[in-house]
Amino acid sequence: MHNTKKNRLIDKSFQFWGIGNTFIGIVLLAIFIGYIVYLGASRLSFDFLSSLPSRFPDKSGIYTAMVGSVWIMFLTAIFAIPIGVSAAIYLEEYQKKNRFANILEINISNLAGVPSIIYGLLGLQVFSRTIGLGGNLLAGALTLSLLILPIIIVATREALKAVPNLIKDASYALGATKWQTIRHQILPAASGGIMTGIILSISRAVGEAAPLIVVGALAYVPFVPTSPMDDFSVLPIQIFNWISRPQAGFIVNAAAGIIVLLVITFSMNLVAILIRNKFEKKMN
């Protein structure tokens, strides 16, 4: 009997401990966002979104950085998605499960955890110097593609793994080839999970500054990039640059820039969640 009381107490205390820890993250994030909005909201305007950078804080805008970010997002997606998804299909559906496959799997997971600045150094040496792209959009996008490839591969494999064997067996039993089964059954069933993984990884790429700085993206770009071979800046670099300026006005600009970046990444995450929910409904 006496144990019941003690166990209930332990149960209750863990519950409170859990609630407390859950709220640490949420409260800190809320304070951070609240402060940023308080600082930067007044600076948000059409002018801010459509102006080129300037040495005067109140004339300075994020137009070039935003266009640079869109370019980077687009180019990175073009490089990373086809390679990542097909690599995942190969590893999950074709690769025989042997020691080599194990080593590959562990290494891809490890790559997903390599600090982004290391990818920046790799990009600098391979794309900027050896291939000679310099600090242009193409070099940046290729570098970020390397960064998110392992994330896409891991997420896609998880999504493919989640497709029930029953469905695959049904397809094979009707005489379908491996590719027909992948194309008509496995990919449609896994597409929700695959797209969620892709969107989350792209939104990670959009938030990266370090690897692009290493590759040679510029902080001050007084023109809008019009081709992949142009120099560029992106939102995180622009924000980083403003924060390091002494004038108070640039701090407000940085806060406003952060709001824009947050809106972009949050809406991408929202789209990812909506897609996942839609496919889950369809599958059940």
Partner 1 sequence: MPTTIIESKDFNLFYGDFQALKNINFQAEENTVTAFIGPSGCGKSTLLRSFNRMNDLIEGVQTTGETNINGISVYDKSVDVNELRKRIGMVFQKPNPFPKSIFENVAYGLRIDGIKDKHIIEEKVVSSLKKAALWDEVKDNLKKSALALSGGQQQRLCIARALAIEPSIILMDEPASALDPISTSKIEDLIYELKKNYTIIIVTHNMQQAGRISDNTAFFYMGELIECDDTKTIFTNPSNLRTQNYITGRFG
In 10 A of CB 106, how many CB atoms? Answer: 10
CB of 162 to partner 1, least distance (A): 13
- Of 186, 188, 179, residue with least CA distance to 165: 186
Q: Which is nearer to partner 1, 57 or 188 (CB)?
A: 188
Q: Nearest distance from residue 195's CB to partner 1, in Å?
A: 16
**25 vs 175 by CB, closer to partner 1:** 175
The contact set with partner 1 (CB under 8 A) reads 96-97, 164, 166-177, 180, 184-185, 188-189, 282-284
Rank residues 15 and 177 by Cβ distance to partner 1 and give the closer one: 177
Cβ atoms of 65 and 256 closer than 8 Å: no
Amino acid at 224: V
Task: Enumerate the H helices of 44-92 as residue ranges.
Answer: 46-50, 63-89
Cα dihedral 114, 120, 122, 125, rounded to 10, equals -170
- Judged by CB, which is closer to partner 1: 51, or 191? 191
Note whether 213 and 235 are within 8 A (CB). Answer: no
Tokens of 204: 């990670």
For the chain, the first-to-last Cα distance in angstroms comes to: 45
Please, which residue, 181 or 203, has the CB nearer to partner 1?
181
Rounded Cα distance between 155 and 161, Å, is: 10
